[in-house]
Amino acid sequence: MMASLAADTVREPQGDVYHTIGARNLQGGVLHIVCALACALAALAFAGPGFAADRKPQAGRKQVEAEQVRADDAGRRVPLEQRQVEGTERQRAESGRQRLKALGYELLKPFRDCLDCPEMVVIPSGDFEMGSPAGEVGRYGTEAPQHRVTIAAAFALGKTEVTQGQWRALMGHNPSYFSRCGEECPVEQVSWNDVQEYLLRLSRKTGQRYRLPTEAEWEYAARAGTTTPFNTGNCIDTDQANYDGNFDYNFCRGMKRNYVQRTTPVGSFAANSFALHDMHGNVWEWVEDCWHDDYVGAPSDGSAWSNGPCEKRVLRGGSWKVEPRSLRSAERNWEWAHDPGNGHGFRVARTIFW
């Protein structure tokens, strides 16, 4: 089903000031959206904490922890509003929301920096367990050890993978194998190096700091509060993502044998509770990090792992042609940075706080 949240909120530059124009336009499945939004809000922390606005020196990064979403005894995430918290913590969370608001952002509210720019969603700060737990079916050693990661500040992430139309608008050509799929299909056959040039042009066009998400940010956003193999739960099916339906995961539903054998327009499947589409399947997504065979020594602050064999870069999320095991939130893959591969795409991230 199609589920699109506030797709038409467009931000256009007017001198140095950005104004939000256009109104929310809810398409299709309104009930679903309302439900998703409610779930999302219930599952969330609130804005990034006591941070200076973009382009100001870092300040107060230490005082952050208090604003993260916390898990209760049963391991569920409990929104701040429902927790017994000290007054100061609540005040700081409120202050964080206001700082975001002062910059013109709201958590989970999509925006665009220009008409041809990818639609972005503001992802809340928080912490999570990165990697797969020991008992997860089909896990690889690359996903261990599972470790706690803190995403200290709210950031923006592409609501969808970058489309062929968006790529063409900045780069002047379309390298995609499935170019006949259309402008709304994800761009693919782009190398990590190619993506850097796109990001440079997008950053210069908008004056904003566009980049690839870090691997930690990607998994945090893909999970959107879930601890299961998929953000859809313990199972996934071909009504929920684009992958090779000839294969099943852990005897979930039997095989539906639904395999479209190509990419699909972005946003063809329901969003997760962070309002992000296609985090599972469609195209592999490049992230910033250099490849390491496991998480021993990985950063825990949500930053990219930028040393090591950087000629290899990490890919996440699986693609149209993989089995569901490779769609898992914790699944990791790599490719040479210069290799456009086959089915490699990406989604952009954007820093909000310096």
Partner 1 sequence: MSVLYSLGMRCSLHAFVGAMAMALNVLAAHADDLRPGQVFQDCDECPEMVVIPAGIFEMGTPASAEPGNDSARPLHTVSIMKAFALGKTEVTKRQWRAVMGVNPIGSLVCDDCPAENLSWNAAQEFVRRLSVKTGKQYRLPSEAEWEYACRAGAQQEYCGGDDVDSVAWHEGNSSGGAHSVAGKQANAFGLHDMSGNVWEWTADCWNNGYNGAPSDGSAWISGGCSSRVIRGGSWYYKSRYLGASVRAGSGVDDRGNNDGVRVARSLP
Binding site for partner 1 (CB under 8 A): 16, 55-58, 171-172, 191-194, 196-197, 200-201, 203-205, 207, 209, 211, 311, 337-338, 354
> Residue 354 CB, nearest distance to partner 1 (Å)?
5
CA 277 → CA 27, 231, 237, 324, 333, distances in Å?
15, 11, 15, 16, 20
> Residue 130 CB, nearest distance to partner 1 (Å)?
23
CA 274 → CA 52, 125, 230, 277, 285, distances in Å?
24, 12, 14, 9, 17
> Residue 286 CB, nearest distance to partner 1 (Å)?
12
C-alpha atoms less than 13 angstroms from C-alpha of 26 in its C-beta half-sphere: 11
Which amino acid would we find at residue 278?
A: D
Q: Label residue 49 left, alpha or beta by phi (over 0 means left) and psi (-120 to 50 means alpha).
A: beta
- The token duo for 351 is 């820093």
Q: Which residue, 109 or 209, has its beta carbon nearer to partner 1?
A: 209
Q: Which residue, 14 or 82, has its beta carbon nearer to partner 1?
A: 14
> Residue 337 CB, nearest distance to partner 1 (Å)?
7
> Residue 154 CB, nearest distance to partner 1 (Å)?
17
**CA 59, CA 52: separation in Å to the nearest integer?**
6
Q: Which residue, 93 or 212, has its beta carbon nearer to partner 1?
A: 212
Q: Which residue, 174 or 227, has its beta carbon nearer to partner 1?
A: 174
Q: Which residue, 2 or 114, has its beta carbon nearer to partner 1?
A: 114
> Residue 199 CB, nearest distance to partner 1 (Å)?
9
- The token duo for 155 is 């950031």
Give Cα 267 distance to the centre of its chain: 13
Residue-wise burial string across 229-253, b where 16 or more C-beta atoms lie within 10 A, e elsewhere: bbbbeebbbbebbbbbbeebbeebe
Q: Which residue, 148 or 338, has its beta carbon nearer to partner 1?
A: 338
